[in-house]
Structure 1
Amino acid sequence: MEFDNNIPIYIQVINDIKKDIINGALALGEKLPSGRDLAYKYKINPNTANRIYKEMEAEEICYTKRGLGTFVTEDKEKLKNIREEMAGSLLDSFIEGMKQLGFTKEELIHLLEHKYDLNTKQ
């Protein structure tokens, strides 16, 4: 994973894990790698890996069973909320960038429809 220097690493890893949950690469209730394995996978400090799991637990994205490990939440509603939250964040950034380029709402909608149609034909 290529890290962005403008965003804390732990947030980038959390977002990557969220994407894996949303797209089904990690199933609801699935066991997550140990903190050490997570650190190895992302080439991060083990303390950062532990912070990632603490943050994810605080957001109720995962839970820990003492002695067994950390698991993805089994709450389907939480999954839906994560998906909508991430989509909203992407849309906010996209819309703000397009406004800075001078696009109107109508131009933006037309451009999106055109690009979407092009991408679905491939």
Structure 2
Amino acid sequence: MGMDFEKDRPIYLQLVERICGDLVSGKRKPGDKLPSVREFAFEAGVNTNTVQNVYKQLEQMELTETKRGQGTFITPDPLKISVMREELKKQLIDRFLSSVETMGFTQAEILQSLKERRENEC
């Protein structure tokens, strides 16, 4: 098995973002149990040390809790997830704007294109 990863970014950060994305999209819910380190490493096609690093990062972000002998669980606190959701949104917007500005587009052009696209969808 295995997942596809971007070559220019650390794998553990990409896995953290995927789990955060699963939280934002509702694929994972507050209180859900995460797979064991070995299970997730096999599923992702990465080393178990990488997954341990992912789980450590998520715990430092206060998005997970490790219960000795039971496993790692998504925080049951919806406020922590809400804060992470807003942070993730900001990061995605910043990355998008940086990308399009590098190509020479202005923010005004991008906003206009987004408005036009939105109008065409309705």
Q: Same fold (TM over 0.5)?
A: yes
Structure 2 portions without partners, runs of 5+: none
Deviation digits for residues 19-72 of structure 1 (CA, Å, limit 9, x no counterpart): 111111111001110001110110110111111111110111100111111000
For the aligned residues, what is the CA RMSD? Answer: 1.4
**Is 2:35 the counterpart of 1:33?**
yes
* Match among 58, 61, 71 for residue 60 of structure 2: 58
* Match among 85, 88, 99 for residue 87 of structure 2: 85
Aligned residue for 2:73, secondary structure, equals strand
Structure 1 portions without partners, runs of 5+: none
Distance 2:33 2:98 in 1: 37
1:1-122 paired onto structure 2 within 5 Å: 1-118=3-120, 120-121=121-122
Following superposition, the deviation at residue 86 of structure 1 comes to 1.1
Distance 1:33 1:104 in 2: 43
Q: 2:21 is matched by which residue type in structure 1?
A: K
Q: TM-score, normalised by structure 2?
A: 0.90
**Equivalent residue pairs, number:** 120
Q: Give percent identity, aligned residues only.
A: 37
